[in-house]
Structure 1
Amino acid sequence: MARTPPSARTPTRRIRRLRVVGLPVALPVVLVAALLAVLAVIAAALGHQVAKSSSGSSPSAASPLNSFHLEHPGALGEADGVVPDGVTVFDDAIPAVANLDPGLLDALRQAATAAADNGVEFLVNSGWRSPEYQNQLLREAVAKYGSEDEAARWVTTAETSPHVSGDAVDIGRSDATAWLSEHGAEYGLCRIYRNEPWHYELRTHAIDHGCPRLYADPTQDPRMQQ
């Protein structure tokens, strides 16, 4: 049988060589594209988690009112109950703390001392408020939520607010509210509203009988019907 001339075999070798050489070149491109796709999915998932956290979906999220005095302070300040960052229940120099009902403040400090043994600190997001501050919060809540009825689920009038009378405190940080939900009744400290896990008031009978049933929100509280 006659041999195939070398010139006839050359294209076949070149084609095979090109195919073999082409695989290593194309493979990294595919891997890079796949890696970029995976990174994009991870970034999207992380972005969703951050957005979820910042939306306040957690039951221990801070009060939605906390941003009001930062964005629209007007003529109000600490003397009206505006609370700077990092204030604790032991900060007597801050009117929002110092003007709380003495019984409530004493119970808070006893509880905070016990909680500190577990590495938990009670930060105050809001405490006593002046009527002017309360009214400003109510106006801004109406603007935020779109109606007086919806705003009333979060902010009461100055005439009915337990913050204005010094009988309520909003505790910051989820570890503190979690500690209070478990141990607060031992000190007479009770959560009052289901939609506000940060809002605590003094109920001395809770020491022996436990905290009362939660109201869904302030609109269900008979004190707010004045």
Structure 2
Amino acid sequence: MNVTSFVPHARNLAARVILVLLATLATVAGCAQLKSMTSRDPHAGGDLPAGVTVFDDRYPAITKLDSSLLDALRESASEGADHGVEFVVNSGWRSPEFQQQLFDEAVATYGSAAQASQWVAPPTSSAHVTGDAVDIGGHDAQAWLSEYGPAYGLCQIYDNEPWHFELRPDAADTGCPATYADAAHRS
């Protein structure tokens, strides 16, 4: 038996082993990537846990708000705190996907897109998706903002949503514009 006849076979075997190892590594890396994609931050789309304030920069729902809106909120929240009022953010910026989820849930709850849109705008028209709206929790904070918010340019936009505020910079001089009945009636 000639030793040189085994060399090509050994090379083929080594090449196969290397290919199997590379395929295994690629599979492991792919699984790790898939796991990181499926276990991503549950707040990345804008969902918030209870008790988040306008000063909490750990959440995209806060950090992705329009910077002028966020500045006005923080200034008014500081003033409110001096009067014993705490501002809690129930919702701020939302990804289009999260906004669609909320809209779909509202359709299921209210029975139609027309009824749902009185409470939740679709992503194409939601001020939350652009970072231009915030929902403030707590009746005291809502009442305080309704009274003193215009001095900071913060205005309640909808009659049926006393928690929903948007920035209207001219409000400090001219007052807030008239409210809409609900999100469906916004022009």
Could you tell me the TM-score, scaled by structure 2's length?
A: 0.78
Give the superposition deviation at 1:202. Answer: 0.1
**Match of 2:13?**
none
Do residues 145 (structure 1) and 85 (structure 2) align?
no
Task: Specify which structure has the higher proportion of strand.
Answer: 2
Q: Which residue does the alignment assign to 2:22?
A: none
Secondary structure of 1:153's aligned partner: coil
For the pair 1:196 / 2:161, whether they are aligned, the reply is yes
State the identity %: 60
What's the secondary structure of 1:79's corresponding residue? Answer: coil
Query: How far apart are 1:104 and its partner, in Å?
Result: 0.1
Provide the secondary structure at the position in 1 that maps to 2:44: helix
Alpha-carbon distance, 1:220 to partner: 1.2
Q: Please report the TM-score for the alignment, with normalisation by the length of structure 1.
A: 0.64
Q: Considering only CA atoms, is the larger Rg found in Structure 1 or Structure 2?
A: 1
The SS at the match of 1:115 is helix
Q: C-alpha separation between the residues in 2 aligned to 1:77 and 1:118? A: 34
Aligned amino acid, residue 181 of structure 1:
S
Q: Aligned Cα RMSD in Å?
A: 1.1
Query: Match for residue 176 of structure 2?
Result: 211
Q: Which one of the candidate residues 147, 158, 174 is aligned to 2:123?
A: 158
1:17-56 → structure 2 map (5 Å cutoff): none
SS of the aligned residue for 1:184 comes to helix
Question: Would you say how many aligned residue pairs link Structure 1 and Structure 2?
Answer: 148
Question: Which residue number corresponds to residue 90 of structure 1?
Answer: 55
SS in 1 for 2:165: strand
- 1:122 maps to what in 2? 87
2:100 partner letter:
N
Q: Which runs of 5+ in 2 are unaligned?
A: 1-39
Counterpart in the other structure of 2:149: 184
Deviation of the 1:76 alpha carbon = 8.0
